Structure formats: structure tokens, C-alpha cells
Amino acid sequence: MLQLRHLDLGWNNFSGEIPQEYGRLGDLKVLSVHENKLSGRIPPEIGKLEFLKELFLGGNTLSGALPSELGYLRTLKSMSLYGNKLSGEFPTSFSQLNNLTLLDLSQNKLDGSIPESIGDLPKLEELNLYGNNLSGSVPRKLGTNGKLQNLYLSRNKLTGDLPESLASCQSLKEIYMDENLLNGSIPKGLFGLPNLIRVNLGDNLLSGGFPETHDSVAHNLEVINLSNNQLSGMLPPRIANFSSLRVLHLEGNRFSGSIPPQIGNLQQLLHIDLSSNNFSGKIPWPISIHSQWSYVNLSRNHLSGDISEFPGTWIFSSFLFS
């Protein structure tokens, strides 16, 4: 008798509903029907596949609630259900998926809060909940497993402050939490994590100053986006420590004081936007001589000085002179 272990029907034009009979394939380890035209609900019978390691149902038009029975898949390592029309609350039973490394529920219509217990998953490396209607706070224990690498929570309705636990997670590489309602300050040490490459916290309600870091830390950040928050204070000279930085977005905040000349030491920087703040004084000379910078926006500040000092290769969109 054939014992099917791997079923991959992805990237086709299959329509209709996922057969509940798939739940009888007791030896199945991989079930993939992603990128088709499937509709209807996810059959709860899939929760009977006790040896399943990979479940890929993304890129369809599946609807209805997430079956709590999926929490019975104790051997599951990857669950990807992105780009459907799934709705309802996040099942608390998912906190029992102790072998899960990837959970992707992005671009659905999920609401309610993210269960605190998701932060307890011991092997979770990537959590992607981008583009839902989730509310409440970010789980306090996210990152305490020491394995989390990628965290994508953008375009939800999350509130509260950022968990301090993230600033201790040495494995983190990417954090995207833009377009939420997060408030409070950015945890000290977050930007000093050794493997962190990209951070996007734009379009929130964050306050306080530019995140504190230690001068002795080797920073690998390439992208920092803190745009459209309520951050204030002076931009510190230690920003020069981010030697790998390529993109810096700080527009739409309340930063004040002079632009530190040390920013000109960022040799990898290509794109910088400091517009719509309260910066004043002259533009430091190092900014004007970096011909490799492809985009500079310093508009809607209180900068002053003689604009003829700057090389003709630069075109600034506008200045509000004090």
C-alpha cells in the first residue's frame, strides 16, 4: 500500500476546496497547495496529520477562521498561510507548536490579539503577521527563545510599547513593525544587536530620543526607518557608529538641534531623509561632499546659511530658513 509522505500541488490553477480527505493521509510530512485558486475553509481534519512537518496553503482565497486543530500538529516546522482571506482570532492552540520555526499568516483578515504564549515557542525563527487587523500589545516574551530572526508585524493595529525582550535577542536580523499604533520609547540596546540588519518602526506613536547604543558595539544595521513618529531631542554624534548604514529615514519627527557632522562619516549611506523635523543651524560640510548619496531630503526644517556653499550636483527640494 502506498504511504504518501510528500504532496506538492503548488503553483497551478486548482480551484474548489481543500479536500477533508487529506486528513486521512496519516504518513504525510509535506502538504503544499500554495499559489492556486482554492477557496473555502481550511479543513480541521488536517490537524490529524501527526507527522506533518510543512504546511503551505498560501496564495489562495481561503476564508473562515483558522482551525484550532492545527495546534495538534506537534511535529510541524513550517506553516505558511499568507495571502488568503482568513478571519477571526489567532488560535491559542498554536502555542503548542513547539517545533515551529516559521509561522506566516500575513495578508489575511485576522483580528483580536496575538496570544502572549506565542512568545514561548522555543524554536520560532520567523513570525510574519503583516497586513492583518490584529490589535493589542506585542507579546512580551518575543525573542526570549534566542532563536527569533525575522519579525514582521507591519500594517496592523497593535498598541502599547515595544517589548524589552527584543533588545536581548542576539539572533534578530529584521524587525518590521511600521504602520501600527505603538508608543513608548525604543528599548535601549535594540539597535546594538550584533546581527540586526533592518529595522522599520515608521508610522507609529513612538516617543523619546534616538535609541541609545554603546560606542564599543559593532553595528551591522543597513536600514533604519523611524519616520512619522514623535521622537525628539538631538541626533547624537554616535550615529556615525552605524558604519554599514545605507538608508536612514527620520522624517516626520520632532528632532531638533544641529545635524551632527559625524553623519558624513557614513561611507555606505545612499539614502537619507531628515525632513519635517526641527533641525536648525547650518548643514555640516561632510553632507555636501558625499557624491555617492543618491537621495537627500532636508526640507521642512529650520536650517540656515548660504546655499551657495553646496556643490551644484546637489538639488535640495526646499528649505525653511530660520
- Taking alpha carbons only, the member of 158, 143, 196, 154 closest to residue 176 is 154
Reported confidence tier of residue 322, pLDDT bands at 50, 70, 90: very low
With 0.75 as the threshold, say if the pTM is over it. Answer: yes
HSE-CB for 194 with a 13 A CA cutoff:
4
DSSP string of 166-186, one letter each residue = GGG-TT--EEE--SSEEEEPP
Residue-wise over 140-169: b if at least 16 C-beta within 10 A, else e? eebbbbebbbbbbbbbbebbebbbebbbeb
Give the model's pLDDT for residue 289: 54
**Residue 269 or 79, more confident:** 79
For residues 156 and 135, what is the distance between their CA atoms, to the nearest angstrom?
7
What is the chain's mean pLDDT, rounded? 91
- Give percent of the chain with pLDDT exceeding 90: 80
| SS3 per residue for 58-78 | CCCEEEEECCHHHHHCCCCCE
pLDDT band at 214 (very low <50, low <70, confident <90, very high): low
The DSSP code sequence of 194-243 is TT--EEE--SSEE-SSSPP--TTS-----EEE--SS--EEEPPGGGGG-T
pLDDT tens, position by position, 187-196? 999 999 999 9
Note whether 134 and 112 are within 8 A (CB): yes
Average pLDDT score over residue span 261-284: 91
Cell of 86: 482568513
Helices and strands, number each (H, E), in the chain: 1, 26
Residue type, 14: F
Report yes or no: 274 and 249 within 8 Å, Cβ to Cβ. no
pLDDT per residue over 120-171, tens digit each? 999 999 999 999 999 999 999 999 999 999 999 999 999 999 999 999 999 9
CB-CB contact of 29 with 52 (8 Å): yes
DSSP 120: G
DSSP string for 91-156: PGGGGG-TT--EEE--SSEEESBPPGGGGG-TT--EEE--SS--EEPPPTTTTTTS---EEE--SS
Q: Quick check: 313 pLDDT over 60?
A: no
| CA end-to-end span of the chain | 82
The C-alpha atoms of residue 304 and residue 56 are separated, in whole angstroms, by 56
Q: How far apart are CA 178 and CA 267, in angstroms?
A: 27
Give all domains of the chain, ordered by start, each with its CATH number.
1-172 (3.80.10.10), 185-322 (3.80.10.10)
Contact criterion met (CB below 8 Å) for 299 and 322: no
Task: Give yes or no for residue 219 having a pLDDT over 60.
Answer: yes
Q: What is the DSSP string of 33-61?
A: --SSEEEEPPPGGGGG-TT--EEE--SSE
CA 150 vs CA 78, 198, 208, 280, 311: distances in Å: 14, 10, 25, 37, 41
